[in-house]
Each structure stands twice: as structure tokens, then as C-alpha cells.
A and B are shown apart, each in its own frame.
Chain A
Amino acid sequence: MDFEKLAQAMGDLDEDTVVEMLEAVMEDGGSEADKAMEACQKGMELVGNLFEEGEYFVGDLIYAGELMTQAVEILTPALVGSDSSGPKTKMILCTVKDDLHDIGKNIVRAMLEAAGFDVVDLGIDVEPEKVVEVAKEQNIKIVALSGVLTLALDSMKDTVDAIRKAGLDCKIIIGGAPVSEEACAAMGADEWAHSPQKTINVCKAWAAELA
């Protein structure tokens, strides 16, 4: 199996080739399923990079996310019990209180999952207390807060404050249209991002530190 070709097909959003190759991988029960999954993850990185470069659009990110979901469904029977299904870094993702937008959050979730994170998606319009509660319960060390409305900055600050006040040792990244370096500093978050790819890179770096 040419896994470089598989990664490229994923990067090209070539659904037919991706599905065909993954089904071929599964013909012997999936002895190379972990390599196929790595290739798909590499393809997702290509997609993220092409988005950063302006070659791909939001629609392409969504398409890639759906393609990755299909890939996971095909490979899952073989991945259960293999190294690839071992412990993953668990993190929280949500859209903050009073903001009902989920487009950016869902794109980031798909890309984080493709990058190997176990994402606890708390949904939209999420109260700070809920984030604190889940972070405590599940001992989560990375929190990503999303928002579209300018007013989301207030809710992000409330959430950051609640996490700090609860004494939780979490790394927090804020993302979405209204965030900025200044907003990040003012609310005491650790990082900020406009693009999904930056969010993924930051979270991967944090996960490596935590490992």
C-alpha cells in the first residue's frame, strides 16, 4: 500500500480514492490500519496547511472533516486494541456562553480529532461553571474556547476567570473572529488563534509538554 498516495488523496479531498484505499487496507483485517490512519492524519495536516495558504476554504475543511470521519469508521474495527487507539490527550472544546455559533468549533473539533486528541465537545452557549466542572471531573489540562460574537470575549474572560479561580492547572486557548493577542493577554488566556491549524499546532505542543 502506498501510504504517501493515501495522504495525498486525503489532502486533495479525493473521496473515492481515500475510501477505495482504506477498504483495500481492511481486506486482510486491517494489519496496516495504523499506518493508514497516520496517512489520513498527514493528509489532514496538508488540508490545514492549504487552508492557511489560502488555497482551501472553510467548505474544504468541513469536507475534510467528514472524510476523516468516514476514514475512522472504516478503520475502527482494526484499530481497536492497536497502539493507535491507546491513550489520547483529552481536552475540552466549546463555544462560550451567549454565543450560538458552532461552525469554527466543529471544524476545529474534526481537525483536533484527526490529530489524535480525545475532544470533549461541550457544545455551544456553555456556562463557565460547566467547563470548570468537566475539567475537574475528567482532569483535563487543555481547554479551547470558541466564539464569533464580539460579546463572546466577555464570556471567554468569565470562563478563563472561573478556571483560574477554581485553581485548575489548565492551558487555555481562545479562538474565533473577535480574539486577538491583546484580548488573550487581557483575559489571561495562554494562547489565541484565528485559524484552525494554529489551534491544532498549539494544542499539539501543549500535549507534548504534558506527556
Chain B
Amino acid sequence: MKFDKKEIENAKMPDFSARRMAVEFDSPITPRENLKLAFQKKQLWMPSASDKGWFCPHIIPDNPARAFVIQGAKYDGPVGGNDMFGIYWEYVPSARGSIVRPGNPTLTDITKWKEVIKFPDVDSWDWEGSARDNKDFLVNSTRYQNVCIFTGWFERLISFMDFGPAAFALMNRKTKDYVKELMDALSDLWIDVVDHCAKYYGHDFDGFTFHDDWGAQDGPFFHERVVREMLVPYMRKVTDHVHELGYTCDLHSCGSIDRLVPCIIEAGWDFWDGMAINDYHTLYEQYGDKLIMSAPGTECPKDASPEEQKAYAAKYAEEYGDRLRPALVSNYDKPGVDFQIELYRILREKYSEEDD
């Protein structure tokens, strides 16, 4: 589709006070459709990290428990509380999130997990009501909608056992087979949730985001050897199933985990939503053709003049605008309006010429 200057002239400017950072261009397709095209390496412009949205319906008990209900239907119920396993999450207002208060874990002996951990009855959640109430929200969204599973594999083990015992169980030769059984059972549960989403929301949404933090600011929690043995196969079981159903897989994993990116790819994730502390420049060079990541920060100073912003955008487009290696414009450093407009123009024109 040919670029038309009106796409920029008619654009809707950001409202930083409303935390809407991205310029909304009058594009021939929506950002959601553009991101879908990125999987075929046919995107019309460089997508932004903010083109992805989380769909967190309240019927999945983890979402209110973790204080993340994002849906079309109004939700004014409580936040914090029991997750789908009956584990209590304490809402911390200052952090605007929830945490399982450590010190009194539900599972103290991993060998007893089958007796202690009660898996949820996914059928009992009000899927029909949620599908009905969120139909318009999902269908009309211009953002790529991912259903969120907030507590993945290792994070779930932490919620059962506390961090230290969970990490020890995962690494200990005498207990890791029990952990593997539990990880496999969690994968079966996620597949059940995925199947319910597919059945009730159909293709009104686009994919799944699973949260599983693998590191802290100073590095990963585990060596890749541990991650490959204890987490990757169980994730792969789910990502393969999701792909068979025609959806995409997004991993939200915090921490400085550059060296685990090969594990993320092996586990079948299409997107990785990580933190700015990772070396995205090197990661893009190494893995940009295998995984859609946020590109590095724009490096454009906040007080840059419009001309300077345009120059930064040209450099950014040169470095990260390869259509065959799609990346997402990072929002970490809140790119300025002139930067966004210039980046859009450059790559919209470039890709349009490539299609001719």
C-alpha cells in the first residue's frame, strides 16, 4: 500500500498526561493488523511495543488476585485475594501489584505436590459471560490483544513454595523430577485455559502472554543448563499447542537475561517482552530474525529539538528497520513526537517501495 502524506497530517497526537505515548497515524491498516503482518515480514511500518495489549479478564482468578484486570466489561471487584490455586496474593498499594507474602508457603515439600496442590476447575469459570461482555472490546481493539497468564511456570512454583525453596527444588538432583512432573501438569492446565479461550473468544484475540520472570537486575536466576532442562520443554508443549490453534506466544520475562534468549527461542516464543537493562542492540543482531523484541531505546534525549529527533529517527530506522527482522519500537525512553513521525515516514516509504 502506497504511503500517503495524509497518514501523518491526520495523525492523532499523544496525550502524555493520559499515558498515551504513541502517535496514532491515519494508517491504511490498524497497528494490530500491522503487527500481524510483521509475522509474515510484511509490516507496513515499524510496530511499537505499545501496539500490544493485554487482555486480562476477571474470570481468570489470577487477574484480580494480581491486581491486573484489563477487559472491556467494567470491573469494580476486589484486587488481591486468592489465585486459581487458592494461593493468597496480598495487594501492595505502593507497588500497585500483588505478592504472596513469603514465610508461610503452601507447599513445603515438593515431593508432596500432588497431595497439597489443588488444580482449578477451568470449566467452572464464566467463559460464556466473559466472551459476551468482551466481544466488542476485543473485536474493535486496534491493538494486538494477548490473553495474559500472569503466573507461569517458575513464578507459579515460587507462589507455592517461596523463592528459595522453589529455586532449590528446581536445581536439586533429588527433587527435580518432582518439579518436572509439576511443570508438566502446569502445562496441561495452560493448554486447558488456552483451549477455553479459543472456544469462547474465538479469533477475537490474537495470542497469549505468559509471565515468567527468570532474572534480577544483575543477571539470570539460573544457568541456561537449568532453564533448558527444567522449563523449556514444558513451555514448548504449550507454545506448540498455541501455534497449532493459530495464535502467537509472547513471553514477559523480567531481569537481565540476555544469555537466556536462546532458551526463549527454543521454548517457542514469538515475542519476548523484557526489560531495558538487556543489551538489545546485540540481541537484535544475533536473534532479530528469530524473535520479535523491543528494539533498544531510541537514545534520543528528551530535550532534543525536532531536527535532532528526526536525525535520531533516521539512525534508528537504519539500524532496526530491516523488514525481515521485525522489532518493536521501545517505549522505555518515551520517544518524542517528531521522532515517531519521522520513523513512521521513513519506514512507511521504504517498505512501500519494497512492495512495488
Physical interaction between A and B: yes
Q: Pick from A29-37, A52-60, A82-90 the stretch touching chain B.
A: A52-60
A59 with B94: CB separation less than 8 A: no
Given the interface contacts A63-B172, A177-B217, does A58 sit within 8 Å of B167 by beta carbon?
yes
- What B residues does A102 contact at CB under 8 A? 102-103, 162-163
Once the chains bind, are B101 and A100 in contact (CB under 8 Å)? yes
B216 lies within 8 A of A149 (CB):
no
Tell me if B173 counts as interface (CB < 8 A to partner A).
Answer: yes
A136 interfacial by beta-carbon distance below 8 Å: no
Inter-chain contact A100/B99, CB cutoff 8 Å = yes
Task: Tell me if A66 counts as interface (CB < 8 A to partner B).
Answer: yes
Contact among A59, A100, A123, A194 with B222 in the assembled complex (CB-CB below 8 Å): A59
Which A residues are in CB contact (< 8 Å) with B95?
A: 149, 151
Nearest chain A CB to B124 CB, angstrom units: 30
A63 partner, pick from B90, B92, B162, B168, beta carbons under 8 A:
B168
- Most chain B CB atoms below 10 A, which of A58, A103, A177, A194: A58
Q: Is A78 an interface residue (CB 8 A)?
A: no
Do A149 and B167 touch (CB < 8 A)?
no
Given contacts A63-B167, A149-B94, contact A58 B221 (CB under 8 A): yes
Q: Is the CB of A106 within 8 A of B221?
A: no
A15 to B172, CA, bound (A): 9
CA A63 to CA B173, docked complex, whole Å: 11
On chain B, the residues within 8 Å of A66 by CB distance are 164, 168, 172
Contact code string B216-233 (vs A, CB < 8 Å = 1, else 0):
111111110010000000
B171 touches A (CB below 8 Å): yes
Is B170 engaged at the interface, CB distance under 8 Å to the other chain?
yes
A98 at the interface (CB under 8 A from B): yes
Complex Cα spacing A107 to B218, Å:
14
Cβ-defined contact, B163 with A103, below 8 A:
yes
B94 and A98 within 8 A (CB): yes
Contact call A63/B171, Cβ cutoff below 8 A:
yes
Interface residue? A195 (CB, 8 A)? yes
User: Which of A54, A58, A62 lies in contact with B216, CB distance below 8 A?
Assistant: A58
Q: Does A65 belong to the interface (CB within 8 Å)? A: yes
CA distance A139 to B164 in the complex (A): 30
A176-199 vs B, CB cutoff 8 Å, 1 = contact: the mask equals: 010000000000000000110000
Which residue of chain B is the closest to A62 with respect to CB atoms? B167
Indicate whether A103 sits within 8 Å of B164 (C-beta atoms), given known contacts A63-B171, A63-B172, A124-B103: yes
Chain A residues near B167 (CB-CB < 8 A): 58-59, 62-63
Interface residues of A in 58-77 (CB under 8 A from B): 58-60, 62-63, 65-66
Task: Report the minimum CB–CB distance from B94 to chain A (whole Å).
Answer: 5
Q: Hey, which chain B residues are within 8 Å of A65, CB to CB? A: 164
Is A57 within 8 A of B94, CB to CB? no
Chain B nearest CB: distance from A68 CB in Å?
12
Chain B residues whose C-beta falls within 8 Å of the C-beta of A151 in the assembled complex: 94-95
Q: Mark B168-186, 1 if CB is under 8 A from A, else 0.
A: 1011110000000000000
Report the Cα distance A14→B59, complex, angstroms.
46
Contacts of B226 in A (CB 8 A): 59
Whole-angstrom distance from the CB of B214 to the nearest CB of chain A? 10
Partner of B103, one of A58, A98, A123, A177: A123
Closest-by-CB residue of B relative to A149 is B95
Given contacts A57-B223, A63-B171, contact A98 B102 (CB under 8 A): no
Q: From residue B159, how far is it (CB to closest CB) to chain A in Å?
A: 13
Query: Chain B residues with Cβ under 8 A from A106's Cβ?
Result: 163-164
Q: Which A residues are in CB contact (< 8 Å) with B217?
A: 177, 194
Bound-state Cα–Cα, A54 to B218, Å: 9
Q: B92 near A57 (CB under 8 angstroms)?
A: no
B102 adjacent to A59 (CB under 8 Å): no
Residues facing B in A9-67 (CB within 8 A) are 15, 54, 57-60, 62-63, 65-66
Q: Which residues from A are CB-within-8-Å of B92?
A: 98, 100
Nearest B residue (CB) for A123: B103
Bound Cα distance A60, B221 (Å): 8
Q: Can you name the residue of chain B whose Cβ is closest to the Cβ of A63?
A: B171
Q: Are A57 and B103 neighbours in the complex by a CB distance under 8 Å? A: no
Which residues of chain B come closer than 8 Å to A100, judged between CB atoms? 90, 92, 99, 101-102
Bound complex: CA of A132 vs CA of B267, how far in Å? 49
Cβ distance B97 to chain A, nearest Cβ, rounded Å: 10
Task: State A101–B103 Cα separation when bound (angstroms).
Answer: 10
Specify which chain B residues have a CB less than 8 angstroms from the CB of A62 in the assembled complex: 163-164, 167-168, 171
Jot down 10 A-B pairs with beta carbons below 8 A, ordered by A. Answer: A57-B222, A57-B223, A58-B216, A62-B163, A63-B167, A100-B99, A100-B101, A102-B102, A102-B163, A195-B218
With A124-B101, A151-B94, A195-B218 known, 14 other A-B pairs at CB within 8 A are A57-B219, A57-B222, A58-B215, A58-B220, A59-B223, A62-B167, A63-B171, A63-B172, A98-B92, A100-B90, A106-B164, A124-B102, A124-B103, A194-B218
The interface of chain B, by Cβ under 8 A from chain A, is 90, 92, 94-95, 99, 101-103, 162-164, 167-168, 170-173, 215-223, 226
